[in-house]
Amino acid sequence: MVASSERGGFRDRPLRLDADLRDEHRRWRQLQALARLEAALEKGEVGLSWEHDEALLDAPIENTAPPADRAQDLFYLSRRREGALGRSVLLQIAAHIDPDNLDVRLAEARQDPNPGRRAEELVALAGESLVRLGEERADEPGARHELELHVIGRAAMRIHVALALDLIERGQVHLASDVLLQVLELEGGREVDAHFVLAPLLVEADFAQKAEAVLAVAADDTGALAVWSRLLVRAYRGRATDDEWRRARGLNRYVERLLVSPTYLLAPMPGVYAPGSLDEAQVIAAASWRAWRSRPQLIEELHRRIDGGARQRKEQSLWRTLLEAQVLLPGHDPGLAGLLRRRREKSIRQLRRLLDPSLEHVSSHVRAGAACQLGRLQAHEAAPEIVRLLVLDVGETEAETELMVAALGQLHRAAAEPIVDALERMPPSDVKMQLARTLAQTYVKSVRIREALGRCFAEFPEVGAEILAIYGDPASIELLRAHLATLDPARDSMTGRAIVRALDDMGQRIEPQELERWDPLPPGEDGVFEGPKGRDADSMVQWACSLPGHL
């Protein structure tokens, strides 16, 4: 399966829509070459041969190809580019060449900031893709038929996956399950591990028998994602054994902590993960935590298993010993917080005492370690105290400061108001921008937060633009565009590029003239920035393909 295949020791998460499409692009190019060869043979051009040069895969096809083929090729090239700017240009040219291309329209729909309109567009695209797929299946067989079937089938799969993810996000589990069942019937549907997202949804909707049938399709998959999905169904049936729990924990020991405390989950999920990692646990838990909490017997089983492995710990002396030894600094095992869950309230009280800045005998790394554990224990009431330490700049090292900021990130929404209060009082500083980024990542929407982030943008426009893009409030778009209009490309090029990237990340269409004005290419020997040679489609495509990978 593509979604589970190892790439340099990493794997793609299920239903990932932004994965590298090199293999699919290669097959499409091969089918296209076969279609051209078949058409030539029908015309009697028997001397034509077919050669496939792998090196040509990174360059666009010739501009004499049919518009539909050129647009599809540009879509593949855009998805394989690392830089957001190059992707945006290639997609815009593809939309100009062939406005009916399903993949390009899906990319545009996903960028729509209006959730209601985005849902309508995805539903319409899903229906249209099935109609076009049915029409193509009825056509005469041949190389061109196989090419179109491949393109439409893959596009239909991606559209249905996007629709399912949108429905899941809006809590419409039954509809999402129906859509994912359709995904499994489409070309490439099983390659994106749809069954491992579908099975927990079916359990959540009380369709355990269907979940078992879906997982039977991947009975030979022994990865953590598959094993934890099967464990969920077995636990729902009341049949999960000690050996099955040990096997699941052996593959990934972080999952159950996230299932019990889903507020630890990151948004969005990691795109790739290493087997056994915390990132992998994020992927597994994101797909299944609602199912584990949907039935009393499931959550009781989960807590029973965790509590059964808990150990008695000493009180503040142990905390002090561990923190003084720097055992709980970044990069170390976060499991201790879960093991101490039974004594959570007392542990939180002891840790909060260590945050008191008036205690001169408490060193800075002890305070940082205490903040770290309070974050892991989801001690929401400690958020103002951690923010106060950051405002006082008690961290003696960069690592200690970053640790306290990360602790606030784990407290999510509870940290929002204390951070806003601090931002309104703090002078410009690196710590202030770290707090602003953490605030944006809480995704708590309010006018006060938007205005606070706007003031941070005014103080540090380059970093502030990125933070506004993370926050993703459409109301910030006008602020970004207004500031961009006041800048001089000769003097404010770095700020201008940062704002253009932020607008692109927020799904805004960047006109070619704007791209040319804020040309991200490094200057040539004469010190003059070189933009595209012209504004025609071919020049823009050539320019976009030549952009550095980070742009």
DSSP for 108-167? HHHT-S-HHHHHHHHHHHHHHHHHHHHHHHTSPPSHHHHHHHHHHHHHHHHHHHHHHHHH
Task: Look at residue 529 in the predicted model and tell me its pLDDT.
Answer: 41
State how far the Cα of 25 lies from the Cα of 84, in Å rounded to an integer: 19
Same structural domain for residues 195 and 338? Answer: no
Question: By three-state DSSP, how is residue 12 classified?
Answer: strand
Same structural domain for residues 93 and 206? Answer: yes
State how far the Cα of 30 lies from the Cα of 34, in Å rounded to an integer: 6
232-236, 291-295, 350-354: which is most confident: 232-236
Task: Look at residue 54 in the predicted model and tell me its pLDDT.
Answer: 53
pLDDT at 525 over 70: no
Same structural domain for residues 349 and 200? Answer: no
Same structural domain for residues 343 and 204? Answer: no
**What is the chain's length?**
551
For residue 268, cis peptide bond before it (omega within 30 degrees of 0)? yes
Task: Look at residue 343 in the predicted model and tell me its pLDDT.
Answer: 56
Task: Look at residue 333 in the predicted model and tell me its pLDDT.
Answer: 45
303 found inside a domain: no
Q: How confident is the model at residue 62 (pLDDT cuts 50, 70, 90)?
A: confident
Query: With pLDDT > 90 as the criterion, what percentage of the chain qualifies?
Result: 21
Q: Within 13 A of 339's CA, how many CA atoms are on the CB side?
A: 11
Question: By three-state DSSP, how is residue 273 classified?
Answer: strand
30-39, 220-229, 387-396, 501-510: which is most confident: 220-229
Condensed to tens digits (0 to 9), the pLDDT of residues 327-344 reads 444 444 444 544 444 456
Q: For the residues of 203-255, what is the DSSP string, one character each?
A: HHTT-HHHHHHHHHTTTT--SHHHHHHHHHHHHHTT---HHHHHHHHHH-TTH
What are the structure tokens assigned to 270, written together?
């990691």
Please state the φ and ψ torsions of residue 233, each to the nearest 5 degrees. -65, -40
Task: Look at residue 282 in the predicted model and tell me its pLDDT.
Answer: 92
Structural domains counted in the chain: 2
Going through 147-225 in order, the beta strands assigned E by DSSP cover none
Task: Look at residue 396 in the predicted model and tell me its pLDDT.
Answer: 62
Residue span of the structural domain in which 116 resides: 2-224
Cross-strand pairs, 272: 12
> Which DSSP helix (H) or strand (E) runs through 11?
strand 11-12
pLDDT at 272 over 80: yes
pLDDT at 124 over 90: yes
Tell me which of 295-309, 310-324, 354-368 is least confident.
Answer: 310-324
pLDDT at 412 over 60: yes
pLDDT at 5 over 50: no
> CB neighbours of 501 closer than 8 A, spacing ≥ 6?
84, 85, 465, 466, 469
Question: By three-state DSSP, how is residue 272 classified?
Answer: strand
Question: By three-state DSSP, how is residue 100 classified?
Answer: coil
What are the structure tokens assigned to 52, written together?
């496939």
Model-level pTM greater than 0.85? no
Same structural domain for residues 331 and 214? Answer: no
313 found inside a domain: no
Residue 228 burial (C-beta neighbours within 10 Å; 0-12, 13-18, 19+): buried
Of the three residues 197, 224, 251, the one that is the final residue of a domain is: 224
Same structural domain for residues 220 and 347? Answer: no
214 found inside a domain: yes
User: Do the beta carbons of residue 327 and residue 333 sit within 8 Å?
Assistant: no
Q: How many helices (H) and strands (E) does the chain have?
A: 28, 2
State how far the Cα of 320 lies from the Cα of 318, in Å rounded to an integer: 5
Helix runs in 311-382, H state only: 316-324, 335-339, 344-354, 364-376
> Which DSSP helix (H) or strand (E) runs through 284?
helix 278-292
State how far the Cα of 26 lies from the Cα of 32, in Å rounded to an integer: 10
State how far the Cα of 108 lies from the Cα of 338, in Å rounded to an integer: 42
157 found inside a domain: yes
74 found inside a domain: yes
pLDDT at 531 over 80: no
Query: With pLDDT > 70 as the criterion, what percentage of the chain qualifies?
Result: 80
- Region 518-524 average pLDDT: 50
276 found inside a domain: no
Same structural domain for residues 358 and 218? Answer: no
Task: Look at residue 4 in the predicted model and tell me its pLDDT.
Answer: 42
Task: Look at residue 498 in the predicted model and tell me its pLDDT.
Answer: 86
Same structural domain for residues 210 and 71? Answer: yes
Task: Look at residue 306 in the predicted model and tell me its pLDDT.
Answer: 75
Q: How confident is the model at residue 45 (pLDDT cuts 50, 70, 90)?
A: low
Supply the CATH number for residue 176's domain.
Answer: 1.25.40
Condensed to tens digits (0 to 9), the pLDDT of residues 415-449 reads 889 999 989 888 888 889 889 988 888 888 889 99
477 found inside a domain: no
280 found inside a domain: no
More confident residue, 368 or 336: 368
Residue 427 burial (C-beta neighbours within 10 Å; 0-12, 13-18, 19+): exposed
Q: How confident is the model at residue 117 (pLDDT cuts 50, 70, 90)?
A: confident
Q: Are strands 272-273 and 11-12 parallel, antiparallel or unpaired?
A: antiparallel
Of the three residues 224, 244, 260, the one that is the final residue of a domain is: 224
Of the three residues 420, 435, 450, the one that is the final residue of a domain is: 435
Same structural domain for residues 205 and 326? Answer: no
